[in-house]
Amino acid sequence: MKKLLYALMLLMAFTSCKSETSLIEEGVSKDLAISRFSNISELTYDLDFSIPQEMDSSIEAKVTIGLNLAKREELILDFRHDSAAPLRVLRVNGKDAKYSFRKEHIVIPARYLIEGLNSVEIEFLAGEQSLNRREDLIYTLLVPDRARTLFPCFDQPDLKGRYSLSLTLPEGWVALANGKFLTQVQNRVVFASTEPLPTYLFSFVAGKMNKYDLSRNGRNISIYHRESDPSRIAQCDIIGEQIFSSLEWLEDYTGVAYPFSKYDIAIIPGFQYGGMEHAGATLYSDRTLFTGENPTTSEKLERAKLIAHETAHMWFGDYVTMKWFDDVWTKEVFANWFAIQMVAPMFPEIDHRLSFIDSYFPPAYAEDRTRGSNPVQQELDNLSYAGLVYGNIIYNKAPVVMEMLVEKLGRELFREGIRRYLKKYAYSNATWDDLIEILDSLTGENLLAWSNVWIKEKGRPEITLALINGEIVASQRDPFDRGLIWEQELLNDTGDAGAIIPNIDGKGYGLFILDSVSSAEIMRNISSYSPVKRESELINLYENMLAGYLKPELFTESVCAMLERENEMQIFSRAAGFLTSATVLYMRDVRAEGPGRAEELLWKITSSPKGGEKSIIAFRALTEIACDSISAERIYKVWEKPQTLRHISLSERDLTRTAYELALRFPSRYDAIRQYQLGRITGNDRREEFLYLYPSLSPDIQTRDSVFNSLLKVENRGIEPWAASSLGYLNHFSRREQSAKYILPALEILPEIQKTGDIFFPRNWLRALLAGHSRKEAASVVNKFLETDKILHPMLRGKVLQQGDHIINSPNSN
């Protein structure tokens, strides 16, 4: 009996040891996160970074972590660092402690810890993967799991903490952070403690920046920027006004006052995303926030929506945070859905139902139509792959589904549900199911069953409409053969000779398959439809073309006819984009002798003195698709002397983008174009970007090979939007045959791209690589890679299928 008892004790000890060991794997596993959440509370981080003047010098740092332990057991911190010995000192409760470094974790034995309050002090070298360092600028970007690459922490969204921060800066630098500025002694800046935040929202920016202060109704905002162009700096006023308006709208809608101590922003050249919602220190890309002197309606609207989106995150994401990154879409769906509601009062002249359709349906379809489609809510076992959850489906399909949910509930009940949700989970975490439970209590609808298909299953329905006994009857097909039915209400119409015009209110979601009679009816009459119906049918035609139900030449001819008569700017811009995409994608001869129908039409609109905003949109489209010498010369003359078309005001960005396109089309003028455009670029950051990108346009293939090989090294991809643009120009459609050799090596480093890049970089890398290719040879390379690669993560494989769909799954690829 004693032997049996002893054996059982050994087995229990072994099981316990095995259980703890199993929590330690690279990344942050869901099991580890659950275990820590059950034991850790009252988290605080007191951080100190000493930033040297020399960019290649290491950053000395300290962190003191305060935490309350429910039980005494070994403590597992997250810290991924390239150095073999990044820790200088580790103390627990004031005493030196031994620790082990295992699989990206610092493991502190239980004997150093106590039940209740503990303090862990660590002196270390800061990790630099997510410290974006330039000569005179540094900023953090830690979403989704990159805080652990900067400092030791518990890098999971449901362990929120309060952050105090001190920065020692080079001479002449300024800084902002999540917390309020407290004091500065010489070059050491101290910031106040924050409200509870997840690790991915910890942020600071430091460098040579200018500060623009704004106030309204007792609220103050500071905008940090690096601009020297007075016309751009002047835009800070409208940026500030839109932030103030967004804050006021959200406070009124939610009944919750702005939940953080301040709202400051930094506008960063070459920033990886449009924006990032760090509470108190929101970061934005200069490309979106600073427009040209005469922005289009689309550009003005996109800026306002971006500001509204990031501001909505203060409540949805920062104040109430998802519990795990499988629900990251919940913060994005709120931000995007609310953004449309918030900008409506700012732009009363715009049709916002039309804007909703235009903003969300086409980009959602771009991924949901593919074999790489994924559910809105995805499985995620380890935060190492959390970045792969992001994509058009969570940003664009989710708001479409949210709008359906709002219509099922009614707008007032939905608002009441949102208020209850925010009150219940304030400064805490919640799941999608938590929200559905609250909303379910307000209605007789079975929201859980409805949301399971729309949220937890991939793909879109293929919908066929038939006229039976005078009634339109809809049938659905599940493209993945699971037998799913997507519950939705459809509004359809009929035309001549039995034609059916589907989804005329733009609320339905799916591929609405058109027969030849219906597509002919729509193409013939589309310009006479209402704006919403016109937009919806334009999208239907485009999707049918991609699916092989409509010939590309019929589609492009129809869009050209539409553009000649279109006066609604949102529709005109979307139609021009579809025309560009179809022309590039299905172009057989990229060295045409003369202008085609599309080029002639776009030039006609460009050169029309009464074209207005349409002229700018048409010119941009023309620069992308023109391959004949006549069109290229026309563009060159406008670029060289913009004043020749007095009715168009081309921004510096327009002229730079045009210079890139011209360098591709005029190899003999490559050096002259470079010198001329470089001379008229203002701002050091934009000059650096131009000099980085321009070699990818070289007529010399050895130079382009050298650029490509440099992009395979992580140190040359530091500013990721620039790296993606460079890869895109290397794979421009006009050089398809010469660049096909880049496809395989660029695919082979995808795991490294995912590990070292930020959340959108794998998708952007693949898009840049594959968008210009449409030939079967390219499809063969991609398919062979997918067939032979046995280690690619399934979510990364999905990204390849999404971005390569036009060549590996298109009935129209050549």
Q: Is 609 left (phi over 0), alpha (psi -120 to 50) or beta?
A: alpha
CA 122 to CA 108: how far, in whole Å? 12
Residue 354's nearest CA partner among 509, 568, 593, 521 is: 568
> Number of helices (H) and strands (E), helices first, in the chain?
32, 27
Provide the residue type at 648 as one letter: I
Distance between alpha carbon 284 and the CA centroid of its chain, in Å?
12
265: β partners: 223, 282
Whether residue 811 has a cis bond before it, omega within 30° of 0: no
Give first-to-last CA distance, the chain, whole Å: 77
Nearest residue to 537 via CA among 44, 550, 131: 550
Is 310 one of the annotated active-site residues of the chain?
Answer: yes
Query: What's the Rg (C-alpha) of the chain?
Result: 28
Alpha-carbon distance of 555 to 571, in angstroms, equals: 15
- Rounded to whole angstroms, the maximal C-alpha distance in the chain is 100
User: What are the b/e assignments for 620-653, b being 16+ CB within 10 Å?
Assistant: bbbbbbbbbeebbebbbebbeebeebeebebbbe
Alpha helices in 641-748 (DSSP H): 652-665, 670-678, 684-693, 701-711, 720-730, 736-739, 743-748
CB 249 within 8 A of CB 344: no
Beta 116-125 vs 60-69: how paired, if at all? antiparallel
DSSP H stretches of helix in 172-235: 230-233
CB-count exposure of residue 190 (10 Å: 0-12, 13-18, 19+) = middle
Residue 319: which of 403, 263, 360 has the closest Cα? 263
141 near 130, Cβ under 8 Å? Answer: yes
Contacts of 82 (CB under 8 A, 6+ apart): 127, 128, 129
* Nearest-angstrom CA–CA distance, 371 and 785: 16
Residues 6+ apart with CB under 8 A from 543: 365, 369, 511, 512
CA distance 478 to 80: 42
Query: Which class for 98: exposed (0-12), middle (13-18), buried (19 or more C-beta within 10 A)?
Result: exposed
Candidate list 121, 227, 302, 310, residue with the active-site label: 310
Would you say the C-alpha torsion 541, 546, 549, 555 has a positive or negative sign?
positive
Q: Report which of 430, 466, 433, 472 is spatially closest to residue 451, judged by C-alpha positions.
A: 433
Question: How, if at all, do strands 462-468 and 511-513 pair?
Answer: parallel
Task: Say if residues 38 and 71 touch (Cβ distance below 8 Å).
Answer: no
Q: What is the DSSP string of 54-102?
A: STTS--EEEEEEEEEESS---EEEE---SSS--EEEEEETTEE---EEE
Using CA atoms, how far residue 794 sits from 364, 576, 746, 767, 791, in Å, is: 20, 35, 18, 18, 9
Q: In 246-290, which ranges are E strands?
A: 265-268, 275-276, 282-285
* CA distance linking residue 746 with residue 708, whole number of Å: 9
Q: So which residues are the catalytic ones?
A: 310
